[in-house]
Amino acid sequence: MTVRKVLIPTDPFEQPQFIMCRLHYAFETAFNNTLKLLEEPPCNDLNNFLGYCKAWCTTLISHHDNEERIMFPYLQRKLDFAKELEQHKNMHKSLTAFLEKVALARKDPATFDPKGMAQILKTTEDNLIAHLHQEIEDLAPERLKVFTGEEIGEMMSLVHKYVMRHENPVMTLPFVRSHTPPEYKSWPPLPWVIKKLLLPLLVLRHSGYWKYSPHSMN
């Protein structure tokens, strides 16, 4: 069956919310997936599973870094995003603790503590999910219209440049693609050469991680 692709909005006021919605869907999906897998973890494939856990957590932290350095300061000129910053601080304590357990278990599998890892996620679950949903609402097109379309376009251009300079493509792009459902695969927009030639190489680097992802790369 042919899947009808949802196209990326061309309206500059709609793009930030659309993109944030797709990213937050990926993070929430990976969060729920990780929590479920921790109930009966694949101990015979522990390094790859822990790699998947790390990919989710580090990509989320990197996304927050992008927001804090570029998007929020830009929006803060005319809107209040202080509560989003405070939510980040609260979540990062748990995310850092989770990554520490992942790193320890990768170094010494005998220390693998799935119940402890799950507990860390559960303690931040309400804050994390609420934040992911609230931030999408706060980027509603009508709210952004205190800016001009040109200003929103400038902000998105700055965000894109920051992502290109600072994101780890070996981790981020495969993570996003494998947590994006088929109907939304028009995003992120990938030139043919990246989609057909570069992406398979990026996926290959950590191919064992992505077997735990819920969606295919294509």
Give residue-wise pLDDT tens across range 163-178: 999 999 999 999 999 9
Would you say residue 1 has pLDDT above 70?
Answer: no
116-155 residue pLDDT tens: 999 999 999 999 999 999 999 999 999 999 999 999 999 9
DSSP 10: -
Token readout for 21 is 């919605």
What is the C-alpha to C-alpha distance for residues 59 and 102, in angstroms, rounded to an integer? Answer: 14
Would you say residue 99 has pLDDT above 60?
Answer: yes
What is the C-alpha to C-alpha distance for residues 114 and 66, in angstroms, rounded to an integer? Answer: 30
Written as one letter, the residue type at 7 is L
At 24, the pLDDT band (50, 70, 90 cuts) reads very high
pLDDT for the residue numbered 3: 66
What is the C-alpha to C-alpha distance for residues 48 and 65, in angstroms, rounded to an integer? Answer: 25
Q: Which residue has the higher pLDDT, 56 or 90?
A: 56
Would you say residue 39 has pLDDT above 70?
Answer: yes
* Predicted structure pTM score: 0.95
What percentage of the chain reaches a pLDDT higher than 70?
Answer: 99
pLDDT for the residue numbered 4: 75
pLDDT for the residue numbered 15: 97
Taking the chain, what is the end-to-end CA distance rounded to the nearest angstrom?
Answer: 15
What distances in angstroms separate CA 65 from CA 60, 61, 125, 159, 171, one per listed residue? 9, 6, 20, 11, 16
Would you say residue 85 has pLDDT above 90?
Answer: no
For domain 15-167, the question of CATH label 3.40.50 is answered with no
pLDDT for the residue numbered 127: 92
Written as one letter, the residue type at 158 is L
What is the C-alpha to C-alpha distance for residues 87 and 192, in angstroms, rounded to an integer? Answer: 38
Choose among 101, 111, 108, 138: nearest CA to 24.
Answer: 138
Averaged pLDDT, 49-71 = 96
At 2, the pLDDT band (50, 70, 90 cuts) reads low
